[in-house]
Every structure is written in C-alpha cells, then in structure tokens.
C-alpha cells in the first residue's frame, strides 16, 4: 500500500509539472485545451488545476475570446515562483542569465570571455561562474528548476557529453556541472536550442517543417520536421557548416577544406574587413579594433545596416553563399520557412536579398517559390531562451544525470 501511494504521488506530481510546462509554452490555456495536451479527463485536469491554484502556482486569467457558445476560463502560471538558469555559449564568449517562467530576465545577462578550444579548465570556470550568478541573484536554489546550457560542438544530450569541448576526466558534462552547482543540468547543441526557441516562442511556432540557421562563428542548423526537432541517429544532425560546398582549399575548424563555414561565418566577415581595410577600402570601420571579435562584428553589422558600402557588400557576398547552402536544404527537405537566427540575425533584412538571389540561381523554382526566408524576432537571445526551454522540456521527469533532489518538489504538494 505504501509503495502504491508513493507511485501515485509521483504520478500526480508529474501531471502537475506537465500542466506547468504546457502553460509555460502556451501562456494561457483552458481546461479543455489542457485535457487534449495531457490526454486526461476533464475531472482529472480540473482537480489538479485547483490544487495548483491553491498552491499559488497557477492563476485564473479570465475568459477566452468567444468562438460561439460559452467562453471557457483560461489559466496561466505565476511566473516568479520558479526560475531557470540559462547559459548560452560559443567558442569564445559565454552568457548566463536567470529567467522566470515568462522568459523574462530577472538578472542582467552576465557575459564573459571563455575560449573553449584546448581549454581544460573551461568546465570548472563555467561552473564557478554559474554558481556566482546564482549567489548574486539572491534566489534560493530550491526555487530554480534547473540549468540549461547551449554549447557548440558534437553534443549528445542524452548522455550529457560534448565530444568537441568541455571534456571532464571520468565524468560527463552534466554529472560534473550538477555536482558542482547542486542543481539538475541539461545540455544540448547551441543551434538545436536556437531552433527549439524558434519552435516554442519564435518564427517557427505552429509551423511544421522549418530550417533554422544559427549564423555565428560557424553556420549551424536546427531542423524542425513534422513539428518536432530532428536530431538524427546520434543527435548530430544539422552540421550545415561542414557541407563541402567550395573548392577554396581553406582549412575548416573540422579539419576538412572547402566547408560552407570557410566562406560564410562571421569570423570570415571580420577577416575580410581587415583585408579590405589593409587594401585601402574606405569604410567607417577603419577605426574599429577588429581584435575583439564581439565588438568588431557588432560594429560591422551596424555599419552595414547604416549603409556603409563596404560592410553591406560583405554581408551581401556572405548571404549569397549561405543561400547556396539553403538551396541544398530546400531540395532535400522542402521546408515552408527558413529562419535566420542567432547572433548574425542582428544584421536584419540585409541577408534576405542575397539569399533570395542565390535561391533564384541555384534552386528549382517550384521548390523555392513556397519557402519563406525570415529573420528571427528572438535575435541574439534565441539561445538563452532555448536553454531555458530545454530545462522545461525535461521538467516533469527527474534528471538522470544528477543525484540532487528535484528543486521544485517543495512547491508541488
């Protein structure tokens, strides 16, 4: 009997967490909508909704708009009773923020340099920095659902391993981070989390087949097929950067030559600015220090948007080459939308014309004509939002990589 009660208690807690997760993604829902999502009866969902309201986790938000007949009551989560630590990493810079369940930042975004290549201390530094952000926030850990980390490289999210960066002797990344921080930790590839953010909260919401490009120091890809993230057999699907598209003999970070990344990454844009300025090109960028990559690429994007001819030419050239890669994606997957997201999306609509030109030249018209090219509205925050969503994706189950108790257990009676 005691075992039965224990099992039922866990099942009840899981259902409560599912309700919170559904409301996190949908903002407000009616009882009927929650019944469909959870595949539970009206009395069951009503019972747990009432319990969550009594516990102060959910609130009524009024009646839904009329669609004929009686208007249903809608419900929403109380955003500041539970938090998520969100981490966004690239090869050079990491960012950390704590967010509430409305994806609002409750701490400033902490940005710091953390080179990942050949850096055996990277995991230690990251764990220390996350702990520092949590301590400085004043938020108790039992109010934090977990830590989501987006990172570059070959990431096996199920095993908690990054085969490219952040190696930890004798442990996987999630085990190490969970033990150091004392919270459940989840990791995934940065481009895949950007796609998750677009799927749940951005331009891919309610769409079925979408390719999400993460334009950054490489050109990553998150694939949404049949309304779900596609990860491939081992979780490595979407290595768009390493399509061997060019015969330029330029060595890529992967060790091969001619990869898409060698002609289209933001690092290539910085190098071409440096070469052009040395060659006498006139530009407002002549006084910008190109050694600091973050500041340099921001200045270049701003210059292009403000009409600097040299900067605009470089983005046009880069966009065209990205478009050649997009043509391959369209031929393979026939997506309804291609979204440019991540850091590079801050350059805005300057990407769209050259990408469309490449599609006009390299794509079968019948395939390309119904594919829209869109710029993300989430921008540089996409990975942080995706990392938060990663925690909520795993919200109703205990993490298998941490021995710590679930931090929100005290909230769910």
Q: pLDDT digits over 222-275, tens only?
A: 999 999 999 988 888 989 999 999 999 898 888 889 999 999 999 999 999 999
pLDDT at position 168 is: 84
The stretch 86-96 carries a mean pLDDT of 95
Range of the domain at 340: 204-377
Identify whether residues 247 and 372 lie together within a single domain: yes
Identify whether residues 110 and 256 lie together within a single domain: no
The CATH number assigned to the domain holding 98 equals 3.30.420.40
The CATH number assigned to the domain holding 21 equals 1.10.10.10
Please give the full DSSP string across 188-247, using - where no structure is assigned. EEHHHHHHHHHHHHSTTTT-SSEEEEEESSSEEEEEEETTEEE--SSS----GGG-B---
pLDDT at position 405 is: 42
User: CA of 36: how far to CAs of 30, 53, 64, 390, in Å?
Assistant: 10, 20, 17, 22
Residue 412 resides in a domain? no
To the nearest whole percent, how much of the chain has pLDDT over 90?
A: 73
Residue 287 resides in a domain? yes
Identify whether residues 67 and 165 lie together within a single domain: no
Q: Alpha-carbon distance 368 to 336, whole Å? A: 9
pLDDT at position 400 is: 40
Q: State the average pLDDT for the chain.
A: 89
pLDDT at position 93 is: 92
Residue 398 resides in a domain? no
Q: What is the per-residue pLDDT across 344-364, written as a single tens digit (0 to 9) for each?
A: 888 888 999 999 999 999 999
Find residue 149's DSSP bridge partners. Answer: 87, 187
Identify whether residues 166 and 255 lie together within a single domain: no
pLDDT at position 170 is: 83
- Name residues whose C-beta falls within 8 Å of residue 393's C-beta, 6 or more positions apart in sequence: 21, 186, 196
pLDDT at position 412 is: 56
pLDDT at position 346 is: 87
Q: What is the per-residue pLDDT across 166-207, written as a single tens digit (0 to 9) for each?
A: 988 888 999 999 999 999 999 999 999 999 999 999 999 999
Q: What is the per-residue pLDDT across 30-50, written as a single tens digit (0 to 9) for each?
A: 999 999 999 999 999 999 999
Identify whether residues 177 and 245 lie together within a single domain: no
Identify whether residues 181 and 271 lie together within a single domain: no
For the chain, the straight-line distance linking the first and the last C-alpha, in angstroms and rounded, comes to 20
Identify whether residues 240 and 342 lie together within a single domain: yes
Query: Of 59, 77, 95, which residue is a domain's last?
Result: 77
Q: Is the pLDDT at 403 greater than 80, yes or no? A: no
- Mapped onto helix, strand or coil, the DSSP state of residue 140 is coil
Identify whether residues 55 and 70 lie together within a single domain: yes
Burial annotation 253-265 (CB, 10 A radius, 16+ → b, else e): beeeebbbbbbbb
């Amino acid at each position: 009997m005691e075992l039965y009660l224990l099992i039922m208690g866990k099942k009840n807690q899981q259902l409560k967490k599912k309700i919170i997760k559904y409301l996190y993604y949908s903002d407000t829902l009616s009882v009927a909508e929650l019944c469909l999502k959870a595949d539970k009866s009206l009395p069951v969902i009503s019972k747990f909704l009432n319990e969550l309201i009594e516990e102060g986790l959910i609130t009524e938000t009024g009646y839904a708009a009329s669609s004929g007949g009686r208007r249903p009551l809608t419900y929403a989560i109380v955003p500041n009773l539970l938090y998520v630590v969100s981490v966004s990493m690239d090869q050079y810079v990491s960012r950390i923020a704590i967010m509430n369940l409305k994806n609002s930042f409750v701490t400033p975004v902490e940005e710091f340099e953390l080179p990942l290549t050949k850096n055996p201390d990277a995991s230690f530094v990251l764990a220390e920095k996350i702990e520092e952000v949590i301590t400085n926030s004043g938020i108790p850990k039992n109010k934090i659902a977990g830590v989501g980390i987006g990172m570059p490289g070959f990431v096996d999210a199920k095993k908690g391993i990054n085969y490219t960066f952040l190696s930890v002797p004798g442990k996987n990344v999630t085990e190490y981070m969970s033990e150091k921080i004392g919270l459940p930790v989840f990791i995934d590839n940065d481009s895949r989390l950007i796609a998750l953010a677009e799927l749940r909260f951005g331009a891919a919401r309610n769409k079925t087949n979408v390719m999400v490009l993460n334009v950054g120091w490489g050109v990553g890809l998150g694939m949404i097929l049949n309304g779900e993230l596609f990860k491939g057999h081992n979780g490595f699907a979407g290595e768009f950067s390493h399509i061997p598209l060019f015969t330029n003999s330029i060595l890529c970070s992967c060790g091969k030559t001619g990869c898409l990344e060698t002609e289209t990454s933001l690092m290539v844009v910085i190098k071409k600015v440096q070469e052009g300025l040395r060659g006498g090109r006139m530009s407002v960028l002549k006084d910008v220090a190109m050694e600091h990559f973050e500041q340099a690429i921001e200045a270049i994007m701003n210059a292009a948007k403000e009409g600097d001819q040299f900067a605009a030419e470089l983005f046009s050239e880069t966009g065209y080459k990205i478009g050649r890669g997009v043509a391959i994606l369209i031929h393979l997957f026939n997506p309804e939308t291609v979204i440019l997201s991540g850091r590079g999306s801050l350059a805005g609509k300057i990407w769209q014309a050259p990408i469309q030109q490449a599609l006009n030249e390299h794509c079968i018209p019948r395939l390309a004509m119904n594919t829209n090219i869109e710029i993300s509205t989430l921008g540089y925050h996409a990975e942080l939002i995706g990392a938060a969503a990663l925690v909520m994706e795993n919200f109703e189950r205990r993490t298998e990589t941490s021995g710590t108790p679930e931090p929100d257990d005290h909230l769910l009676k």
